[in-house]
Amino acid sequence: MDKKSIIGLVLIFLIFLGYMFWIKPSDEELAERRRQDSIAYMERYRADSIAMAEARRAHEQDSLLQLSMGVDSVVDSAGNLIVTAPQRNLGQFSVNNSNPVVNVHVSNAVMNMRLNSLGASVQSVVLNDYKTFDSADLEIITPNANNMDIVFVDAGNDVVNTKLLPFAVFVDGKEQGENADIEVNEGDSVTISFRAYVMPNDSVSAIDKDAYLEFCYVVWGDKYEVDFDVNFHHIQKNVSVTPNLTLSWQNTLNRQEQYDRSQKGRNASRNKDSERFYTTLYYKNIEDNPDNLRDGRDDEKQITTPLEWVAYKQQFFCAILMSDGDGFRNAQRLAVTTDKGNKNDNYLCSMSSTLGLDYDATSDDYKLDMGFYFGPNKYRELRDMHRGFERTLPLGWGFFLTQWFCRFVFIPVFNFLEGFGWNYGIIIIVLTILLRIIITPLTWSSYKTGAVMRHLQPEMEAINKKFPKQEQAMQKQQAMTALQRKAGINPMAGCLPMLIQLPILYAMFRFYPASIELRQKSFLWCDDLSTYDSIVNLPFNIPVYGDHVSLFCLLMFAMQFVYTIYTMKQQQSQASMPGMKFMMYFMPFMMLFIFNSQSAALNIYYFFNLLLSIATMFIIRGVTTEEKVRARMAKAEAAGKDKPQKKSKFQQRLEEMQKQAEAMQKQQQRR
């Protein structure tokens, strides 16, 4: 980077700051804007609440209109059923049209669940122990009449959509003809069954109530898990095996965490600093580790191999559909989409899965054994189910021992410290200290190298003056290496330890914002460690930076600036590479913009990590005096240790490449 480029960047930055001050409104305008924003927000929130309540009340009436509808279909080359357009009957299951639409509310110690007999699906799930950022009910499953559907062809070649079937309801074996509220106590369970009968072979025979399609849910008193079975009981003659059965599962995901209110509508959904970045669809093949669609973006995939489970994961919560048998035969479609026409500010994205199901037509009582999990992304909770669900948590890279460190060192220590009942801010600080103790042996040689090279500045400057020309780079490098060898340092020894700690730092970058233990936990002025702390809400939005000021981010910025000043004093590059010096000083400002909307926990970690790094360098600098360095150099020179030593193959190749470069440069100069 030359002098003109540096001046240009500085001018651009100054113009940017001047423009921001120029467009800043007056105090009266700010007060009026805040008042108008508050009124608009309350009106928007009230309208959304009313619309949701009206949608729920109208759900049963709207659903009844669907009873006269079915779907047209096509069959793909693999024999899978593809739903395309409405049809007009329920085939051999039309006898169920007279069943009433019944809502069943089930509550236990951890959640409230609503099931509906129209489609026999889970209509909504609300967690008891958690709230959204604005203290509203936290829904894992958003009310939707079409969130689950099993599609198949009956023996009469009619397409049957279970979402259009009004099932008969049974609670612990007793038929339920009206809405029911069920509370499951700890240690107990309840079984809710939905049965759809088939038409008799003739119009005069009574319905055989021992032949039915059944959706069976088992809810326990203290679990986030729900057992889910689909039973084809004595109806093997009524279900066609061609085309294959499919299960469609959909959910609309709404925002649950704090985000920049300046980002409205579609812009809010695209805000990478919000929970959308941590929201995606995970899936697990029977034989492979879990995989996922792209983080924070719309994506779609088709899987031809059997799947064990599919998870709709948000930042801190997830809904998982799992198979307890041989798995889903394939995934015709796994998708994360964003409805650009959705004007609700709380809308995040939509997820859908179309899964192939196996069916044995020779079995008189065939069962599809499945289950749900509706709950928090808590590592121990997910790990204890032994299904690989904990792999949905962002624990860093899958290589270089990063995930191993998080799973077997960092998380157990974090959970251990939780047992003391400390504030989570204190736990983060203690963890940072413990982590620094682990990392210090790796970085000691790097810090020591910087401290020694600080005392070698006169000799290095003399070498730079002795070999000022570019074609003398080889001689200058050899002189520098000889000088450093006398001082007992190896510049390369400090690079590898610094690289080793990068995955650990990255793991912390991913873990803290996704740790549900920190969600809505306060520390000092911060109300929620899992998101940014705002001490000032700006009346305008600054690109990348946001519409607020995070104090923890400012403290981190100040500490990083001090760290940069301290380290640059020990670097020889500031004299010979002014462009590098500018970049080092510019880095804290860049981090200020990037981390302003990151979690407070992450900024606390980086602040204390930098503070401890400075303290470590200060200690090393104190014990590495110039007298000790000069004494070591004199001892090495007296013992003849400055004589050329045997070069490694890497050094030989490097010198050979430098010689070739010098030769090519000389040839170009002659031309």
pLDDT in tens, 567-582: 776 554 444 455 566 7
**Phi, psi angle pair for 266, to nearest 5°:** -65, -35
The C-alpha atoms of residue 222 and residue 315 are separated, in whole angstroms, by 23
More confident residue, 203 or 575: 203
| Kind of pairing between the strands at 137-141 and 121-131 | antiparallel
Q: Which fold, 71-393?
A: Beta-galactosidase; Chain A, domain 5 (2.70.98)
Cβ proximity of 609 and 432 under 8 Å:
yes
The C-alpha atoms of residue 527 and residue 451 are separated, in whole angstroms, by 41
What confidence tier does 409 reach under pLDDT thresholds 50, 70, 90? confident
Share the mean pLDDT of the chain.
Answer: 76
Cα end-to-end span (Å), the chain: 27
pLDDT in tens, 502-511: 777 777 777 8
The mean pLDDT of 121-131, rounded to a whole number, is 92
pLDDT in tens, 313-337: 998 999 999 998 778 989 999 999 9
Asked whether the predicted pLDDT for residue 621 surpasses 90, the reply is no
What confidence tier does 308 reach under pLDDT thresholds 50, 70, 90? very high
Closest CA to 198 of 247, 244, 158, 228: 158
pLDDT given for residue 435 in this prediction = 84
Q: Is 611 helix (H, G, I), strand (E, B) or coil?
A: helix
Asked whether the predicted pLDDT for residue 262 surpasses 50, the reply is no
List of residues 6+ apart from 504 with CB closer than 8 A:
396, 402, 405, 435, 439
Degrees to nearest 5, angle at CA 579 with 576 and 580:
80
pLDDT given for residue 226 in this prediction = 95
In the numeric block, the tokens 């032994």 are attached to 386
Q: Which two tokens stand for residue 15?
A: 């113009």
Degrees to nearest 5, angle at CA 403 with 400 and 409:
110
In a 10 Å sphere around its CB, with 0-12 CB exposed, 13-18 middle and 19+ buried, how is residue 542 labelled?
middle
| Kind of pairing between the strands at 103-107 and 180-183 | parallel
Every domain of the chain and the residues it spans: 71-393, 403-639
Cβ proximity of 314 and 348 under 8 Å:
yes
Q: Is 364 helix (H, G, I), strand (E, B) or coil?
A: coil
pLDDT in tens, 536-571: 888 888 887 888 888 999 999 999 888 888 777 655
The C-alpha atoms of residue 109 and residue 114 are separated, in whole angstroms, by 15
pTM: 0.73
pLDDT given for residue 223 in this prediction = 93
pLDDT in tens, 483-496: 666 656 665 555 55
pLDDT given for residue 185 in this prediction = 92
The mean pLDDT of 144-170, rounded to a whole number, is 86
Asked whether the predicted pLDDT for residue 60 surpasses 60, the reply is no
Lowest-confidence range among 55-64, 151-160, 290-299, 582-591? 55-64
Closest CA to 314 of 341, 354, 274: 274
**Phi, psi angle pair for 597, to nearest 5°:** -105, 10
